[in-house]
Chain A
Amino acid sequence: MLISYLWLKELVDFDLSPEELAHTLTGLGLETVIRDDRRGWHKDIVIGLVKEVILHPNADKLRICTVDAGGVDKKIVCGAPNVAAGQFVPVALPGTVLPDGLKIEPRKVRGEFSEGMICSEAELKLSEDHDGIMVLEGKLKPGEKLADRFEVCDVILETDLTPNRGDCLNMIGIAREVSAAVGGSLKKPTAPITESNEDIGKSASVEITAPEFCPRYTARMIKGVKVGPSPFWMRRRLMALGVRPINNIVDITNYVLMETGHPLHAFDHSEIRGSKIIVRKAGDGERFTTLDGKERTLNPGNLVIADGERAVALAGVMGGLNSEVKATTRDVLLEAAFFAPSCIRRTAKALGISSESSYRFERGTDVEGLLYASDRATSLLQTLGGGEVSKGRVDVYPNPVSKKVATLRFARLNSILGITVGKEIATGILQRLELDVKRQDENSVTVEVPHFRFDLEREIDLIEEVARHNGYDKLITSIPQVAAGDVEEDVCFNIRRVLRRHLRAIGMYEGVRYTFISLPDLDKIRLSGDHPLRAVVPIDNPLSSEWTHMRPTLIPGLVSSAREAVDMRFFEIGKVFAVRGKGEAPSERWKLGGMISEIVKTGIWSGRAGKRDFYHLKGVVQSVLDFLGIGGVCALSPSDHPFYYPKRQSDIIINGRAVGHFGQIHPETLESYSVPQEIFVFEIDLDGLAAVKPAPKIYSQLSRFPSVKRDIALVVDTSVTCESLIYSIRSHGAPYAREVEAFDIYRGERLGADKKSLAFFMEFRDDTRTLTDEEADRIFEKIVVGVKEDCGAQLRA
């Protein structure tokens, strides 16, 4: 909502600068800033009287004017066709700076000397009207400052209103708040009307067939109006508030809308067939063209204003093309009605229209104040449009709305605010906001809420009004006794919290991606048509074609992060979603995902060289599981996730259930996402992990006897796994082979194409005595025989 400072000055007595006004309103909950400061714009413009106009000798379109600018005559060259002797005009004399920064200097125009400029409205930034110079109205004196006689050096403020304050979407509403805050009196303009003898009943009747949508409909009739431009002051105020002037009739309805907040509608009476207004629900599929020229298809949820034959307006939202006021209009039927906010809101939303009118009806208008708005506009139509007002008004108001009554207990007020507000202070605030005191005693005050305050109904609403006008800065800071109570924190939340720290410590960066994916993402990660991850939750109104569904896995987000051929180590903790049974809420599960790149930050200095591989990924996964104390209860098992290399992947199994997987991303997926290097990804179900109890850690006694350390290198077929070799070594070396660790793998021509060599480090120990070398040799021999039998392993020469 834009506010004109000068206009506001006319509506309420206050002594605040625009800056102070903005501060005061903001302190009342009406967040206000200065939008456009025009104070310096017109301070040097003077009013001049054009005394003589002659043609320019050297140019057809130019004229030389003699202008009385206050005791001195100035010769001014002017190109406007509408300049004429006898006009009062705004003059910029040499030295004046125009609002756009142009400084006026005396100069020669086509050989003729010009001592200034006669200005158009556009040059004064008062409108976009370039068509001619501005001609001033009223009893004026040459040499007067323009700003002294006309409302020009204004300051435009803007208030960002919360949706509960529909009552402030107009100048009087703002003035009311100012009045309550500073105590100055509110000065609503009067609305004098001279009615003719002709009764309005002769020209119009109204019938409401949908009173639930339209509790009240009133009309005034103004005959013989002359359609033309509005006076400068009205156009100026409309433009200050961002409304484009059209003609006096439309301008007056808009002006009263901005002034009172009540939307009005002016019909061309000659287009109201049968002179009868019917307020009814639209027919199903009824077509109607609004005055913006668009044809709309309506339904019975929409309310229309119709005449005997057809709809003429979409009630409260927009007028009809068929009945709008035109240059030829003579008789105007002026509507002032109250429409149900929810009906207007549904209609405006469904049709995608937001008008000044619908915006206000949605927020609630004044069912009684509409009479004032109607009379105010009628009065202006009479004064400015020269119309004749028919006697009386049509007013269909079958069930008058009674005012809400609310009671404020002073004790409750003080217990909510934590301070003691004087009873007189509290009551005074409510009264200044035009709430009528019905009853008052020691403990409470009961007030009647005016119709324009849709937001006031309950005691707490009154408490807020008192708090707002009393000032939040008066509320005293104190510390409550905060006790968590019996709220038990979620295991999964705590796991996530500590995991983040662990992952960071092992060199991973925390990433955050949107929760959205699109169906092509599922193709890119190579999910088959019936893959369970395809049970994605669709978004009804996505913002973009890339964000159409809730992600079923973190994988696309992780893979698509790998856009560059650089060192990357990311983890992400977030939810994934899946559709469940019909009517059931979709499932939401917390996942931990991670991605590391093949490429390592280069440079020997870092002490790291070469590339990362699958086993780096596995190391990260193991570190996570070990950190959570569940490394011991996890098993790995072969998997067949389509987004990994078929052989370079594994499931993580706990208690027979897969809680995650890891692997090297499939080359096709890399290509789909234009990933320029190999990457390795894991995903672990944290809700699943949270359900697993870590194996208790029990101390095992340190042996007092030294161990014997031996290495062994074994040549096996490439299909033999490291795990199976370790198992075999352990079983044949039992109970002495305590530590068995792989430390090297080798493939080479000398071994043969389908062979590999694995080297292990072994530690033999007996807890009751020291093993001799001979004993160690015997254990070693036993292992060599055993692994040959189990895995076909040969001792490497």
Chain B
Amino acid sequence: MGDISISGELDRLKSESLAQIASAGSMDDVEKLRVFLLGRKGEITSRLKTLSSLSQEERPAAGAALNAVKNSIEEALSERASSMKKKEVTERLEREEFDVTLPGRPVGDGGFHPIGAVMDELIGIFQELGFSVVEGPEIETDEYNFQMLNFPDDHPARDMQDTFYVQNGARLLRTHTSPVQIHAMLKRKPPLSVIAPGRVYRCDSDITHSPVFHQLEGFHIAKDVNFGHLKGILELFIHRLYGKNTKLRFRPSFFPFTEPSAEVDVSCQICSGKGCRVCKGSGWLEILGAGMIDPNVLKAVGYDSEKWTGFAFGMGIERVAMLKYGIDDIRLLYENDIKFISQF
């Protein structure tokens, strides 16, 4: 075999093999070609065997040429193999049908009660504004629940809060969280910024009144606190709760433990103040009661009302929750009906 014929044959072998590799349509085809070309009985191997029949002088050149062909075939095979693998994975994944609309598998799908959720949110806002949480007993004395809060004996103001009594009138179930003000003031010295969340009781039950409900009370006592500060804090609070576009309206009102007192309305969240069923067409929702702490209350806890002034505010958690979630019957809140609770 002459030089020319050998090299010509190798070139042909190479180009034929590369063409075969390029047309291999699957991993299987590539593997079969590998065996056919490089296997023990393969083309290249058998060529290598023929080298022994060449002369000493011819062998190195022929061997080198053959190896070069072998290398390029190997390279082509592995390239083809990897592209075929990629193609096959892609095709397999493309081919499969999968329903992503089946429900997710639940992981700890618990939930907060609307009252708890709202309470938590409100407490969080006031804590960020610098108020600390203080709590008090649910069973109170007349002194703390009424007298020290400037509800005189035999005064019609007491009719505002129908009271449950316990132990033959010796004590009562607190009708509001305001007695916590008294406890907190007696225990500490001003300045004070406190919120008092908790459960309260009134002898009243219908679709909007529950004998057991929750309030959040807050007060701030310092030097030179004025009504504008009360407006400021409540505006900050309402804006965090309902958004910056919410409007507030302060109307004069009466609470024995504050003077001047105010009812605070916020623009209706549902109709943006245009008027709807929830706000009874007024565009406003009554959310808070507030006012400057009455000097008689400060006097009752031994604070000098000429030196210290303060404001106080309070709201019903159920009312905020019912408005927030559109709940129209307050009794639903206390029945632990899983179909109700699991909606929040």
Contact = CB atoms under 8 A, between A and B. Distances in A.
B103 A484 contact: no
A512 B194 CA distance: 25
A487 B341 contact: no
A55 interface: no
Contacts of A346: 154
A165 interface: yes
Looking at A511, A567, A605, which has the most chain B CB atoms within 10 Å of its CB? A511
Interface string B169-209: 11101000000000010001111111000010101110000
B226 to A, nearest CB: 3
Nearest to B172: A540
B70 interface: no
A482 B113 contact: no
B173 A475 contact: no
B130 interface: yes
B211 interface: yes
A468 B262 CA distance: 10
A355 B107 CA distance: 61
A537 B233 contact: no
A31 interface: yes
A418 B341 CA distance: 45
A115 B155 CA distance: 60
A543 B192 contact: no
Contact of A540 (B115, B165, B294, B335): B165
Nearest to B170: A583
B157 interface: yes
A363 B254 CA distance: 14
Contacts of A738: none
B139 A508 contact: no
Given A461-B259, A515-B212, A566-B338, A506 B154 contact: no
Contact of B229 (A418, A509, A567): A418
Contacts of A514: 211-212, 334
A26 interface: yes
Interface stretch (B27-35, B40-48, B217-225, B268-276): B217-225
Looking at B193, B226, B342, which has the most chain A CB atoms within 10 Å of its CB? B226
Interface stretch (B3-11, B79-87, B245-253): B245-253
Interface string A497-508: 100100111111
A415 B310 CA distance: 11
A503 B249 CA distance: 39
A480 B252 contact: no
B96 interface: no
B120 interface: yes
Interface residues of B, number: 92
A460 B134 CA distance: 28
Contact of A539 (B116, B166, B224, B253): B166
Contacts of A567: 338
A479 B232 CA distance: 5
A486 B134 CA distance: 12
Contacts of B326: none
Looking at A345, A477, A607, which has the most chain B CB atoms within 10 Å of its CB? A477
B261 to A, nearest CB: 8
A720 interface: no
B2 to A, nearest CB: 67
Contact of A550 (B135, B166, B169, B203): B166
A541 B203 contact: yes
A586 B171 contact: yes
B254 A164 contact: yes
A490 interface: yes
A543 B252 contact: no
A644 interface: no
Interface string A526-553: 0000000000011111111001001000
Contacts of B212: 514-516
A574 interface: yes
B260 A363 contact: no
A494 B88 CA distance: 58
A516 B199 CA distance: 12
B298 to A, nearest CB: 10
Given A416-B226, A537-B166, A513 B254 contact: no
Contacts of A472: 250-252, 262
B228 A418 contact: yes
Contacts of A493: 133, 135
B303 interface: no
Nearest to A341: B154
B166 A538 contact: yes
Interface in B317-344: 333-336, 338, 341-342
Given A481-B222, A512-B116, A550-B139, A568 B338 contact: yes
Nearest to B198: A575
Interface string A579-613: 00001011010000000000000000111000000
Given A487-B132, A507-B106, 20 more contacts: A163-B157, A345-B154, A418-B226, A464-B260, A475-B250, A477-B235, A478-B226, A482-B233, A484-B193, A485-B189, A489-B132, A490-B134, A500-B116, A505-B108, A512-B115, A515-B138, A539-B173, A544-B205, A588-B137, A605-B105
Interface of B: 102-103, 105-113, 115-116, 120, 123, 129-135, 137-139, 141, 153-157, 159-160, 164-171, 173, 184, 188-194, 199, 201, 203-205, 211-212, 220, 222, 224-229, 231-233, 235-236, 249-254, 259-263, 292, 294-295, 309, 333-336, 338, 341-342
10 contacts: A345-B155, A467-B252, A475-B231, A477-B231, A479-B229, A507-B109, A516-B212, A537-B167, A575-B138, A585-B137
Interface of A: 26-29, 31, 162-166, 341-342, 345-346, 362-363, 415-419, 458, 460-461, 463-464, 467-468, 472-473, 475-490, 493, 497, 500, 503-516, 537-544, 547, 550, 557, 561, 564, 566-570, 572, 574-575, 577, 583, 585-586, 588, 605-607
Which 7 residue pairs spanning A and B have beta carbons closest together? Answer: A29-B252, A418-B226, A418-B228, A162-B254, A561-B336, A482-B130, A480-B229
